[in-house]
Structure 1
Amino acid sequence: MLVQISAIIAAVAFVFLVFYLIQTLKSLKTSLDEITLTMGQMKNEVTQISSEVQDVILNTNEMAIDVRVKLSKLNHLFSSVNDVGQVIHELTSSVKQSATSLISAVKQTNLTQQTQPLSAKWKTILQGAAISYELLQKMKSKKSPQAGVTK
C-alpha cells in the first residue's frame, strides 16, 4: 500500500510538473510570437531607414561636389585679388620712390634756393609736392596701426 501511495504522489507531482511546464511553454510561445512580430516590424523600418540613408548620402555627395566647384571658383578669385594686391604694392612702391626723389629734389632746391632764386611757378610746384609727400606719409602711418601689420 505504501508503494501505491508513493506512486499516486509521484503521479500527482508529475501532473503538476506537466501543468507548469505547459504554462511555461505557452509563455515562451507568446514571447517568441512577439519577437517574430517585432523582427518583422524592424525589418520594414530598417528597409525604410536604409533608403532614407541612401538619399541623405546622395544629397551629401552632391553638396560636396557643389562645394568643391565653388571653392575652385573662389581659389581663382583669391588668386586674382592677390595679383591686384601685388600690382597695388608695386604701384605704391613706385609712387614712394618718385615722391622720395621729388623730396630730395625739393631739399636740394631749398639749399640752392638761397643761392639762386626760383620762379614763383616752380616754387609753388615744389611746395605742393612736399605737402603731398607729407600727407602720404601721414596716411600710411595712420593705416599701419589699424591694420595691425608691422613691417
Structure 2
Amino acid sequence: MDIFIQIIIAVITVAFVILMFFLIQTIKALTSTLNEVRNTVGELRTDVSEISGDVKEMIHNTTEMTLDVRTKLRSLDVVFATVHDIGQTLHSFTGVMKETAAGLVATVKNKAQREVYDSGAPRSSNGRITGAITDGIISSLRIWRKLKQH
C-alpha cells in the first residue's frame, strides 16, 4: 500500500505541476493583453485630447461665423425695409395714376360724346382725333389690367 500511496502522490504532484504550467501560461497571456489595453487607453487619451482641442477651435469659429452672419442679416433688414417701402410707394403711385387716367378718359369721352350729340352733326376731324385718343387710352388700360392679372 505504501507504493500505492506513493504513486497517487506522484500523480497528484505531476497533475499539480501541469496545472501550474497552464495557469502560468494563462497569466502571461492575460498580462500581455492588459499591457496592450493599457497602451491603447493611453493612445486614446492622447487622441481625445487632440480632438477636443480641434472641436473647441471649431466651435469658436462657428460662433464667430454665426455672429458675423447675424450682423450682416441685421444690416440687410434695413435694405429690405427700404425696398418694401419703395414697392408700397410705387403701388400707391400706380393706383393713383390709373384712377387719374381713367378719370381723364371718362372726361374726354364724355366731352367728345357731348360734342357729337350737341352738334347733331357727324364728328369733325377734331372729334375723330379725340375719339381715337380715347379709344387708345381705354385699350391701354385694358391691356394694363390683363398684364397685372397675370
Tell me the TM-score range normalised by the shorter chain. 0.7 to 0.9
Identity %: 33
Find the partner of 2:136 among 116, 123, 131: 131
* Equivalent pair of 2:105/2:138 in contact (CA under 8 Å): yes
Q: Which runs of no fewer than 5 residues in structure 2 stay unpaired?
A: none
Q: 1:54 to 1:81 in 2, by over 3 A?
A: same
Q: Which runs of no fewer than 5 residues in structure 1 stay unpaired?
A: 146-151
Look up the match of 1:148: none
Look up the match of 1:7: 9
Equivalences for 1:5-44 in 2 at 5 Å? 5-44=7-46
Look up the match of 2:108: 106
**Alignment of 1:97 onto 2:99:** yes
Amino acid at match of 1:96: K
Look up the match of 1:88: 90
How many residue pairs match? The answer is: 144
Query: For residues 136 and 58 of structure 1, what CA distance do their matches in structure 2 show?
Result: 60
Deviation above 6 Å: which 4+ runs of structure 1?
none
TM-score (structure 1 length as normaliser): 0.84
Amino acid at match of 1:37: N
Coordinate RMSD, CA, aligned: 2.2
